[in-house]
Amino acid sequence: MKFKSNLFFNWGVGDHFGWGIYGLNLLYWSMVKGEMLPVPIIWPPSFRYPQDPITHYLLKEAESKWHTGVSAQEGDVMLSGLGNTINKQVTTKKIREIGVIFFENNPLPLEEQIKLRDFELIIAGSSWNAMALNEMGFHNTKTIIQGVNTEIFRPRSKKVFSDRFVVFSGGKLEYRKGQDIALKAFSIFSQKYPEALLITAWRSDWEKTFSESVNQSNLCAPLKLHSDFKKSIGTWIEGNGIKPSQYLLLDSISNAHMSDVYAEVDVALFPNRCEGGTNLVAMEAIRSGVTSILSANTGHLDIIQQDNCIALLDQRNIGGNAALGWGESSIDEILYHLEHAYSLGGIDKTTASRSMASYTWSESINSLIQSMSIR
């Protein structure tokens, strides 16, 4: 396979965190497309579970092409992964520098905006990010929505919890993700329905860095960190009135195995205060046909459609200098929709799943590569 140029990128490749999943699909689909040789700066990859044989082959094929070193040439691209702080990858040669950004602090601090002006092009992970950048004076932006593995994520039937009403909450534990809102709502709901079961996927490599931020809302009894983080979560959940029989804590697991989790879920709850991207976990839940309740703010607005999920429309403004566009969801509105789903059923699985059919990783990476060919 002959590649026209090199595509360097400075974030990891993995199967259990957002940037890693992006990196894995960027590497995989760039290899398949054959126009630009993907060269991750961070190597080796971090996997919770072995990859399928074809993906493993492509990873090794890519690695074999750069293991002796890759010299950057004119026309090559360096992609820098960006967030609330702008850290451009240092390069020794003059190659095209493009930023891929998912940020929540809106507006970005002036010093970060200044650094952002060094990029030829800025790929925004959501329309909300692109709009915010435009309002800050950046017009060299393009919105590219992340993808979903539409082959793995699909509607399935329950096998284990057919006698339980299962509510799912996912994403790394932090104030921005709104797990405190989800926990408060479920604690009230579970008092009325003992058969309700909360499944959480809150573990991450950054869990002890951000998790205590959930306490700033004062919605719940506080989370207190212990050396055993899983125990910290369990103590927090029980401290908010939920019985041990009413929750299941998942460890950090491979993205591919999340399909097995969604098969058991009745409702996925995402009262996130802000999403710089579109919320990959929510996209995968919707693709799996799960009735998903999403806060109608920020990056979620790109994936909310009329019949594919339930939008939380009551969004109270959140104070703060960097929280423009953030939203605080209503506990009462969440409880109303949980009650409705429990009594009358949820969103049609097929309709929900089809709404994500075009959001493939293949299309997302193809759009990314095509954006680089336009100067």
Any domain includes 160 = no
Q: Does residue 59 share a domain with residue 136? A: yes
Average pLDDT over residues 152-160: 97
Percent of the chain with pLDDT over 90: 92
Any domain includes 11 = yes
pLDDT confidence tier of residue 373, bands split at 50, 70 and 90: confident
Q: Whole-prediction pTM value? A: 0.97
- Residue 65 confidence (pLDDT): 86
Q: Domain with 260 in it: what CATH number? A: 3.40.50.2000
Classified as helix, coil or strand, 80 is strand
Contacts of 374 (CB under 8 A, 6+ apart): none
Query: Considering only CA atoms, which of 233, 264, 200, 252 is closest in space to residue 21?
Result: 252
- Residue 201 confidence (pLDDT): 98
The boundaries of the domain holding residue 89 are 5-147+360-372
Q: Does residue 186 share a domain with residue 97? A: no
- Residue 335 confidence (pLDDT): 98
pLDDT confidence tier of residue 210, bands split at 50, 70 and 90: very high
Q: Does residue 206 share a domain with residue 78? A: no
Q: Domain with 52 in it: what CATH number? A: 3.40.50
Any domain includes 307 = yes
pLDDT, the chain, mean: 96
- Residue 195 confidence (pLDDT): 98
Whether the pLDDT of residue 314 is over 80: the answer is yes
* CA gap 311, 334 in Å, rounded: 10
Q: Does residue 344 share a domain with residue 364? A: no
Q: Does residue 364 share a domain with residue 350? A: no
Q: Does residue 181 share a domain with residue 266? A: yes
Give how many domains the chain has, as a whole number: 2
Q: Does residue 367 share a domain with residue 264? A: no
- Residue 374 confidence (pLDDT): 56
Any domain includes 85 = yes
Q: Does residue 260 share a domain with residue 238? A: yes
- Residue 122 confidence (pLDDT): 98
- Residue 94 confidence (pLDDT): 81
Q: Does residue 227 share a domain with residue 115? A: no
- Residue 170 sits at φ, ψ, to 5 deg, of -135, 170
Any domain includes 159 = no
The letter for the amino acid at 144 is I
Q: Are 200 and 250 within 8 A, CB to CB?
A: yes
Whether the pLDDT of residue 375 is over 60: the answer is no
- Residue 97 confidence (pLDDT): 95
Q: Does residue 265 share a domain with residue 143? A: no
Classified as helix, coil or strand, 209 is helix
Q: Does residue 268 share a domain with residue 229? A: yes
* CA gap 353, 150 in Å, rounded: 9
Q: What is the pLDDT of residues 5-63, one digit of tens each?
A: 999 999 999 999 999 999 999 999 999 999 999 999 999 999 999 999 999 999 999 99
Average pLDDT over residues 322-342: 98
Whether the pLDDT of residue 340 is over 80: the answer is yes
Q: Does residue 213 share a domain with residue 337? A: yes
* CA gap 99, 89 in Å, rounded: 10
Any domain includes 314 = yes
Average pLDDT over residues 222-233: 96
Any domain includes 318 = yes
Average pLDDT over residues 151-160: 97
Q: What is the pLDDT of residues 62-121, one digit of tens each?
A: 999 887 778 888 889 999 999 999 998 888 778 999 999 999 999 999 999 999 999 999
Any domain includes 153 = no
- Residue 325 sits at φ, ψ, to 5 deg, of 95, -15
Taking residue 318's Cβ as centre, other Cβ atoms within 10 Å add up to 16
